[in-house]
Amino acid sequence: MSMYGRFNDMVDSVLAPPPPQDAESHTLRCADMFSGIGGFHVAANNLGLEVVFACDIDDAARATYQHNFGLAPEGDITRIRAESIPDHELLFAGFPCQPFSIIGNKQGFADPRGTLWFEVARIIRAKKPQGVVLENVKQLTTADKGKVLQRILDDLTDIGYTVDHRIFNAVNFGLPQKRERTIIVATLAKFEKFPWPTETKPMMPLSSILEPEPEAKHFVTERIREKRREAHAPAVTPSIWHENKAGHISSYPYSCALRASASYNYLLVNGERRLTPRELLRLQGFPDDFEIISTDSQVRKQAGNAVAVPVVQAVIEGVISVLERSNKTTRVSVTA
């Protein structure tokens, strides 16, 4: 079996969808806000859901999304009228994280991008989806001493939702990437305790992610390699070497969090080459049949902005279970 076949088998085990539904079941419709290249969409497909709307301001990301899913995302969310969005039962949003990130300026709602939450709230208020899943950086919970998160939770509560939030790490969902993210859930159905995923999945080995014969263009110069070797000796191989903002170098049998705006040599495989576009997507849980149509630099940005598929998929399953228990889920038939 090829390396690619082994990777796809491992992805299938991490992202295993539920058993096929019976003939009487129907498909929940989803809206994918700040969709990027479609991490939420991949998770929705794995769960047998139907994405009926998407939006993102980035041209290259929209092109990749349309190419892979056949759905053309709308553009700037501030220009989208809520009435023009198809009805949907679930809404997903990985709204911009830079205002809250430790890598960004951490200005929260003082940053114009931070106020894009209010655009999401506007649409939620107008469309009233049965369930909502939001994703952002870990630092969202501490931004402005917790006031940013509390405002989001209060807004959702005021609209009529029961809410909860947790921080999850992608490495605990089978991916060889240490990526901590805040997940917020909200449902119109009331719950006393949200069924958060609790099972830790074994991490796929880094070797299953790495391409056996990467192109020469991904290798750094000998000068950079020597500089890294002088500063660090790895404990394991293969490993991904990480250089932090202070210039300290460390290596692990997994990747540190992918970042859209990271320096070109932020992460180096065995201290000698950059991750390939396919490897970047694998680290976020995208399957190998997801087609790459963008440049290497665009894919690096797109992967850094994407959600970790197995994390959001597990959370979406919890939302669906809450709605099904409440018997308040609005479903629609999907015709062949």
Tokens representing residue 299 in the block: 């894919």
Start-to-end C-alpha separation, the chain = 35
Q: Strand, helix or coil at 269?
A: strand
CA 159 to chain centre: 25
Q: Is 97 known to be catalytic? A: yes
Q: Is the dihedral of CA 248, 98, 131, 335 positive or negative?
A: negative
Torsion angle in degrees (nearest 10) through CA of 267, 92, 37, 112: -70
Closest CA to 258 of 180, 194, 174: 180
Q: Are 297 and 162 in contact (CB under 8 A)?
A: no
Q: What distance in Å separates the CA atoms of residue 117 and residue 154, rounded to the nearest whole number?
A: 12
Peptide bond into 287 cis (omega under 30): no
Q: Please give the torsion angle defined by the CA atoms of residues 283, 7, 241 and 225, in that order, rounded to the nearest 10 degrees.
A: -120
How many whole angstroms separate alpha carbon 42 and alpha carbon 63? 16
Nearest to 194 by CA among 182, 184, 208, 202: 184
CA distance 306 to 313: 13
SS3 184: strand
Token pair for 204: 């796929």
Q: Which helix (H) or strand (E) holds 61?
A: helix 59-69
Catalytic residue among 30, 55, 97, 256: 97
Q: Which active-site residues does the annotation give?
A: 97
